[in-house]
Structures are given as C-alpha cells and as structure tokens.
A and B are shown apart, each in its own frame.
Chain A
Amino acid sequence: MGYGWGKDLKKPEFTKVSDVIWEIPTSFKKGMNVPARIYATKQILDQMDLMVFDQITNVATLPGILKYAYCMPDGHSGYGFPIGGVAAMDAVEGVISPGGIGFDINCLHPDSKISLSNGTWKKVSDLEHEWENKRVKFFNIENKAVENATPIMFMKRMEDNSIFEIVTESGRKINVTAEHPILTQRGFIRADNLKETDNVYTQPFSGVEYEKPSDEVIVSYVDIERILDVIGITNSGNARVQILNTLKRVGLNEIRYNSTALPAILKIMGFVFGDGCISILSKIKKGMTAFYGKKEDLETIKEDIKSLGFKAQNIFSRQRKHKIETYYGTSEFDFTEHSLLKKSTGFAALLIALGTPHGIKTSQPYRIPKWIMKAPLWQKRLFLAAFFGAELSSPKTINAYNFYMHQLNMNKLEILKENGEEFLNDIRLLLSEFCITSTYPTIVEGNQYVGKKGKTIGLRICIHSNPDNLVKLYENVGYEYNKEKSNLACLAANYTRLKESIKSHRSDIRTLALEMYKSGERPRDIRAALLQENISKNFINHSIWPDRSNNVRLPAASITFAFDEFKKNLIGDGIVIDKIKKIEQHPYKGFVYDITINNENHNFIANNIISHNCGMRLVTTNLTLKDVQPKLKELVDKLFQKVPAGVGSEGFLKLTKDEFRKVVEEGAEWCVKKGYGWEEDLQRTELYGRCKDADAKKISQKSVDRGYSQIGTLGSGNHYLEIQHVKPENIIDKATAKAFGIFPDQVVIMFHCGSRGFGHQVATDYLNTFLSVMESKYKIKILDRELACAPFNSPEGQDYFTAMKCGINMSFANRQVILHRIREVFSDVFKQPADKMGLQMVYDVAHNRGSLEKHLVDGSWREVIVHRKGATACFGPNRTEVPKIWQSTGQPVIIGGSMETGSYLLVGTDKAAETFFSTAHGAGRTMSRTKAKGLWRGEQLVKDMQKKGIYVRTVSFPGLAEEAGGAYKDIDSVINAADLAGISKKVTKLVPIGNVKG
C-alpha cells in the first residue's frame, strides 16, 4: 500500500517565497497537513533528486506537524524523512492539529452510515454540521472491543474518478474511494488492493438513526420531592435536603430528553424492569437498587452508574442453591449469583420518579412510562435493548440451522393479569416501531404457582422467527448489558443474512434451470452448467420437473455450516468476520467524506529519524599550520590507530554490559567522571553532555549487545575525523570567530560520528513496535513504513522518547571518549600536555534527534517535538537551549562538508525561529554510493588528495571512494543558501589537511 518504487515521481510546482525558500503547496499530495519548504538556491533546488520532494511531502502528512515540513539546503533523499528534513510536532495536549491522529473512516460515499455512541448512526453527509459533538465508534484491535472516540476532523472533498463497491457474502455493502483502508484479516488494506477472498471485519449491529431530542422536561425537582414524600422520606436528620443536594450536585435533579445522562439512565431503567430491583427499606428510610447478572455485564452497569456521577459499589458474588418446580419436573442446581448494589436513596428516588417500579414487581401493576413511549426511537431502543439484555431469550437454534422464536416471559399475580398483558402490549408496540412483529400475550401453562401474595401466572410474548424479523431485531435493537447475547445476536444476524443470500441464489438458479429446460436444453447440459456450491444435482432436477416441490429452502444436509460452527467468525465484541463476495469499481463524481478520530492523544513522534544521533564536535588548538605540518603524517597515523574506524571496530574501553547501561543513562558526564575528559567539556556540549531522564530499562538487550564494545569508535560511511586549517582569508565573522576561540592559521579538529550500532538497534526495536501498533491502535496511516510513528503521549511514544535519549547519551559519550583519545595522541606527538596546546572544545551538537523544545508558534509558546533528520539545531543568542558560555554569541553550528572540499563553522540566529532553529548539517550527496564507487577509485583518490595537501588514512578504499567530493553538493553554495536565508550565519570555513576515514 503505497510503498512502491515511485518511478513516476513528478516534480512539484514550486512557489518562490524568496531567493532561497521554495514552497510546495499542500495541493501537491493528498494528505499533506502543511506545505513543505525547501531552503535552497535555485541552482541547488535543481540539483536535488525528485525523491527529496516526495519524502518531504510525505513528512508533511504526519499528524500534528506544525507550520511547514522543512528541507535544508543539503537535503537529499534518505528513507522516510529526507536527510536535511525538519518537522516540528505539537506536543501540547488539547491543541488539535489537522491530521491529528490517522484516518479511521476514509473517503466514504455520502450515504455511508457512521456508527455513533448509544447505538445510533448518522449518514456521513449528514454529519457535516454536527460531527463535533458526536462520539464515533471504532474497533480497538488490541482489546478487541468497540469503543467510542471523539472526531477531531471532518473532511469533504470532490471525487471525480471512481468509487469501489464492496459487497460481502452476507450482503453488506460499502462504497469507498480507492485509498480507503478496510480492516481485514490481513490488516488494513486499501480498497483497490482488496481481494475477493479477503475476510473483512463487520459490526452487524447498526442501531437506529440519531435524532436530536427535544429539551422537554421528563422529571422535575418537584417530581422527585413528591416521590420522597411517597416513600416516606421526611426531612428529619436533614435526610431529604441531603438527598436532593446529592442529585443537584450530579446534575440529576431535573431530567430532559436532551440530558446527557439520559442514555445511561434509559439503559439502567430497562435493566431494572428486567433483572433489577429497587427496595425502599421503610424502617431506615433508605433506598437501594440491585442488579443481577453476569459479572462482566454488571461491570458495564457499574461504569454507567459512575458516569452519572455516583460512586459505584462493588459486585458481590454468592453461591446459591436453587430448586424450581416447573411443568417438566423439579429442577435443582447450584449457581453463583452476582449482584451489584447501588445504595443511594437519591438514585432510587430518581428511577422511581421516572416510572421504574419498586418493590416486588410481580405483585404490583406498572406499564412502560409514557415519556418513553414518546421518546425518539434511539432512546426507546436503549430502554428496550437493556430490558432484553435482562429478559429476552438469546438466539438459539432448533436444528442447528434455524432459530427459535425469541420469548419474553413475565410472572404476575393472577389478579394483575390484565396489567401484565398491557405491559407486554407496550413492548409489542415499541417493537412494531422497529417493524418487528410479535405474538399476542398468552398465559404460559405450567408457569403458575401459589405464593404468599396469591396465585401467580406466567405471561409470554414471542418474537416471530422469520429471517427478516430476526435480522431487524438483531441489527436495530439488539441487547444492552449482556455481552453474550449481544455477540450471539451479531453472529445470528450475519448467519441469517448469509443463509438468505444463498436461498435467493438458489431461487435464481431454479428459475434459470426451468427456463433453460423450456428452451430445449438437455437436463445433462443444464446440470453441467449450473452445478456449484449449495446447488446439487437433485436440486436442479427438482427445478426442471415442475411437479416437484418448489421449495428453495436449504435442506439441512446441503448447508455446509451450522450456527455453532459459524460462531468462530466472532473475533471481538460485536465484530464478525465476513468474506468479500465482490468488488466493483464504478465511475463516480461527487463528494466523498472523511472523519478523523482521536483517541486521547494527537501528538506524534516520527520514529525513524530520531535515534541515529550522530553529531559533530569541533576542537580548537593553539597550534598553527606551521606547528602541525611537519608532524601531520605521524599525527594522522596515530589517530588512525587510536580512534578505531570501519566495520567491526571495537573501542579501547572494555565495559561490562551493566556499566554500558550507566553510560547510556549518563552520557558524556559518565566519561568525565571516569577521567575521559575535562569538566569544561560538558559546559561546551549540547545539553551539557547528558540527556536527562534517559532510562536503560527502555532499551533492549540486543541494543546493549551491539553497543557495549563500540564506545570510542568512529564507525564507517560518512563518519570521519579531520584535521583542518583556518585560512586567514576564510574567516568571515571575525568577532564571533574570536569569541569561539578561532584565530587565523589555526589548526582545529573536527569529527563526525554517532551512537553506532546501539542507536540503530534502538531505532529498529521501536520501529517494529510502532509498526505493530500504529495502524491498529492509533489509526495512523503513513505513506512510508520508515515514517512509522506513535502519538508522542502514548506509552509507546514515551518509551521511545526515553530510549532515544539513551541513544543521544551514547553518542555524547562516544565523542567524549574520542576527544580524550585525540588529546592523548596530540600529547604523544608534540610531547606536551594537552591543555598546553589548547585542545578546547568549541561545541558538540547532535544532528539526528528528536527534541522536546518550546517554540513560539502563531504567537503563543508551545511545546513541540522537533525532528531533525540530518539537520543541525541553530539556536540564536539568549536561548535556554544554548549552554551558558555561548549565550551572548548564539550556538556554534558545525557543518561538515565532503572530505575534499572543507567544512564550516556558523552561528545560530534569531531568524532561525522560522525553521524551529534548524539548519543544514553537511553538503548533501548528489549520487548513490554504488554510483560513486563506479566513478572513483579509493587508491587514486588518496593520491589526488595528497597532491592537494590532504593526508588520508582509511580502512577501506572503496568506502573512501564513496565519499569523494564529487559525490556531494558544493558545500559553499549549501552554506550560502543557509546564510542568505539567515537561519545561520557563516563564521569561518575550515579546510582539511588530514583525514581519518571510517
């Protein structure tokens, strides 16, 4: 899905913002949340590969991205993010950014019904003006349950191409655009990639169309007071006032049709009409409501009681022995009775005021409250479904294939027979509003007994079991507060639909067979043409000879699956697997709609980019070119020995794995404590050399295995250590150069390396974690798996952020140990202590990291996660992110060029606020390594560089060829672009004289 090769990449139309800023509008690609901005001169822009633009616009689709997706002048294609890519994501809860959290319901036909909370639905096109206050249902794959979430974005767009119609075997239909992902057993699959054998997930229950309730009062304060009078609660001991105050506090002293509490109240009432009981203990003048049922269902009731603002009591369980005399004989059994008690007189009084019977229901008359009979249909359903959850029989098959009629039984004193019938007729009336038919109330023979209060009789109504009637019952009413029955109803709905669709197919075949026969075809040929699954030879024979029965019903023997077997298709609460029967693409012109939902978090950390954590360190000396030149070869040779580089290089530090865990928590601070550096080195390192709150518990054993022997090693690829010369004519900003400790003719050391295998393993581990939860748990759709991400505030996002800090610390520690080795080599070669030769750090800055920073966005300060992928932070003066000693100058920015052409020292500026204080990090490649290796030979390169006065040592000649100057953009023009844009200012250029290459 969208991970293809992209051979047909198109060049964007750029809008020129300035000579060095080019914008790609969001219209360039579907899903872009912000425009992309390329910082480059026209010449550099033309040199950039098309993939850069594809990748930076992919970044622009990430949820929560702020302002722009930036690409620095050294930008070139990477994986996921381009190298030189910068993106800032909102980290503040409650600030909703377009795109917030991935797409759940994506580009649907206007007639598509969206399931909402409280068993309601609405057509997506009707939601256009009222989506904000709705709760949308979604399937939480992790706990396999349907849950509610708040929509945070609604989109409507014109589709002028086509739409896919997907029909399942049970006859469900949906029309979606090509890129709309559908959840199948293979995961989320785009509509245009679905296969006809795919099993899709369906929620058979659909409920009732939402209708806005009126604000008519159902029960007022006065009504509740009257009930308190009736049940004998006076104001002695202040009881009455307390009860009324409690109700007032939770906002239940008055109930209207549009009260937010009403849906939960309706369900609670429905259940109490069935398996609940309100008792008023007259002696102590206290009310109590009891619910009996399965533990899991009582938990749901408890949640609803809590949602009303009441404290919920615990669920009690007790063993009971039961003996029932029935028509069929005496039945004895043990069972565990679970009950939920809500001891609250106010709660009980409210339910009574609303028309709920209290005391023993058998011995008193009651009807369904009149206000329910005139409520909107969806409110009636809540009452009815909860009542059914308690009282209506569950879907059961007679012969494994056909369902019994559903029974609703009630016991009543014989003298209340008429009232019992009236109540059941109320239920029948409600059912008829859902177009569900049922039998008249009848007396159940054998269900009578004589108790203390007199003779009791059993009354019953049945819901007709014709398929159409049952499907309406299961799909539009269903059961509340009874998970088991509710799941069975969902299964039964799909099962019945499936059977019906086979039946209608058989009927078609029967007609066809007869027509073929009448037109003179031979029975043998007809059989050959029509024989298929569910159509037997006998069936065709029966069809041809008209004297045979005309029944198209499925004979038991011909059905390949019984209901019991079908039950395996339930894969989550209310979710049933359904096979796709056909997928058709139709031309379509018209609006399509999108809803984006939010599960609590909407901030993201995009993974791939953050953890590699390489960085640059620049070290000054008080030596001049004249001092160093005679010893250059010896210096480089010794550095080559002491700072291991290349594949499989191991450092001189031998650590236990436990000690390594300390290193990644403490960073360069650990090194200084152990004697590998000076206190002041920390003052000159970003974050003072230690990224706080790094926790080694969040990294894997594998990452430790890979990293613990690599401290103090350069690595390979573009990692290097250079001895550089400050040519007097190359100093551009003399004052700042001086402040940074730079003087003409000086020799400085620059090196570039990262957290080695460790950082990569951390990234890999979390990439895998994110890939597994991103779509399923957080509904984030990305255009490239390398952009795998999770909400910043999710457990996964936070774990990664913590683990990534370990990666940053490893890279600080690695560069600190290398600095220590450089000092050793210099003292050895020049026979004097390192501090006598300066060897002072200018700065150490990471250029691949995700960092939580405060930025001014549209006039207000916000916490954002800035992702800098191959981009350098460049804070201006007086920013808290800059160490104290550089407060007045701004942060030193170290940008490494190719090994042949030179590098730059720049300084951060205030103007860089526009790029979230980010700038280039290098020259940027223009061709692949494989191609460079074909163009240059390492051995020749060494000779050519020698001629230019650069002495090189490398572990790998082919590796060196890949880094040839010609494989990179011209560093001067990259730096000029950054300087012109003002996002960092040139201080000095540095040219290489010696190089150790990994």
Chain B
Amino acid sequence: MSYKFLEDIAIADVAFEADGKTIENMFEQAGLALENTMVKELETVKTTDKRKITAEGKDTETLLHNFLEELVYIKDAELLLFSKFSGTKIAEKNGKWFMETTGLGEPLNQKKHELLVDVKAVSWHKFSVSKVRGGFKSTVILDI
C-alpha cells in the first residue's frame, strides 16, 4: 500500500495514484496523499488529536471523493491535518456505501509544518477507483 504523485497528468493541479491491499488501505493511502500534498513531511504532523470522519456515497468512487472532500473541509474549517488513519471501515448497505475512520493528527501550524500548496477541491476529472490485481487503486486530481 502506497501512493505516488504523477507528473504528466494534471498540469495546473496535483495528481496522485494510491493503492492498497484492501479498499480500506487504499482509502487511507489516498487520504495521506492528500495531506502530503499540503505538508511536505507527514512525520512532522503529530498524532495528538483524534477526529472521527465519516462519508457516504452511491458507489466507491463517490465515497472516496466525499471522504477526500471532507478532509479538505476539515483543513479549512478546523485547521486540522492528519498523518494517520486508523480503524477504517467501509461497507455497502442497501446500495449505498459508507465509511468511517479515525483521523490522527494535529492543528495546522505554519511555523512547525513545512507547508506546500493548498488543496481547494477534489476534482472529478479523471477520478477513478478500480479493483486491480492484489487490491484496489485510485487516481485523483486535486484542484490547487
């Protein structure tokens, strides 16, 4: 399970690919990739604060999109950054997808964290979640 930033996909924005053995792993990696877009070293974000994060969607793509949008919202509205997600659960019920996870991190601090660029939104452009050999993969473009 990992994520990597892509060079030749989005010119004005930041694109990444995240994967994981399970869909939960992949979601966590995508969440970390989003945080890493804003903070250079995720290790500098201590895990002193815990926040429960939930999302839902009509399919796994919408679910991941909504989860990432929620992280962007929390960054602006609560100034919280995360460096770890734990207890992630994803399930389908009556044709709808739900996720819950606990984000571990701390309040954003320009002096302490080396900040990169601000993520303004998660784009739908070329957004994808797919099942691949050995797990799940997602491709995401962040609006900078």
Contacts and interface: CB of A to CB of B under 8 A. Distances in A.
B5 interface: yes
B118 A998 contact: yes
B118 to A, nearest CB: 4
B121 interface: yes
Given A705-B76, A757-B76, A760-B143, A647 B118 contact: yes
Contacts of B126: 3-6, 79
A49 B73 contact: no
A788 B5 CA distance: 26
Contacts of B13: 78-79, 928-929
Interface string A341-375: 00000000000000000000000000000000000
B52 interface: no
Interface in A907-942: 925-931, 934
Given A760-B143, A785-B125, A715 B11 contact: no
B75 to A, nearest CB: 7
A6 B141 CA distance: 15
A764 B121 contact: yes
Interface stretch (A240-248, A828-836, A955-963, A975-983): A955-963
Which of B14, B15, B38, B121 is the most central at the interface, judged by chain A CB atoms within 10 Å of its CB? B121
B115 A647 contact: yes
Contact of B10 (A646, A706, A715, A928): A928
B115 A930 contact: no
Contacts of B39: 647
A763 B124 contact: no
B2 interface: no
Interface string A453-478: 00000000000000000000000000
B121 A928 contact: no
Nearest to A719: B118
Contact of A706 (B6, B77, B128): B77
Contacts of B128: 3-4
A612 B8 CA distance: 24
A3 B38 CA distance: 27
Given A76-B11, A764-B69, A955-B115, A648 B125 contact: no
Contacts of A706: 73, 76-77
Interface in B66-105: 69, 72-73, 75-77, 79
A962 B14 CA distance: 11
A646 B118 contact: yes
B116 interface: yes
A133 to B, nearest CB: 39
A760 B122 CA distance: 9
A760 B68 CA distance: 14
A715 B118 contact: yes
Contacts of A312: none
Contact of A928 (B8, B38, B79, B108): B8
B1 interface: no
A607 to B, nearest CB: 10
A436 interface: no
A649 interface: yes
B9 interface: yes
A998 B120 CA distance: 13
Contact of A3 (B5, B73, B115, B127): B127
Contacts of A962: 117
Nearest to A77: B11
B12 A647 contact: no
B132 interface: no
A956 B116 contact: yes
Contact of B77 (A5, A705, A925, A958): A705
A761 B73 contact: yes
B110 interface: yes
B131 interface: no
Contacts of A786: 123-125
A761 B143 CA distance: 12
Interface string A681-717: 0000000000000000000001001110010000111
A958 to B, nearest CB: 5
A767 interface: yes
A784 B125 contact: yes
B40 interface: yes
B115 A760 contact: no
A5 B127 CA distance: 9
Nearest to A957: B114
8 contacts: A5-B126, A49-B11, A79-B124, A646-B118, A702-B73, A785-B125, A956-B117, A958-B116
Interface of A: 3-6, 49, 51, 76-80, 83, 608, 612, 646-650, 702, 705-707, 710, 715-718, 756-757, 760-761, 763-764, 767, 771, 784-786, 788, 925-931, 934, 955-956, 958-959, 962, 998
Given A83-B12, A716-B115, 10 more contacts: A3-B128, A77-B12, A79-B143, A648-B118, A760-B121, A928-B8, A928-B14, A930-B5, A930-B6, A930-B7
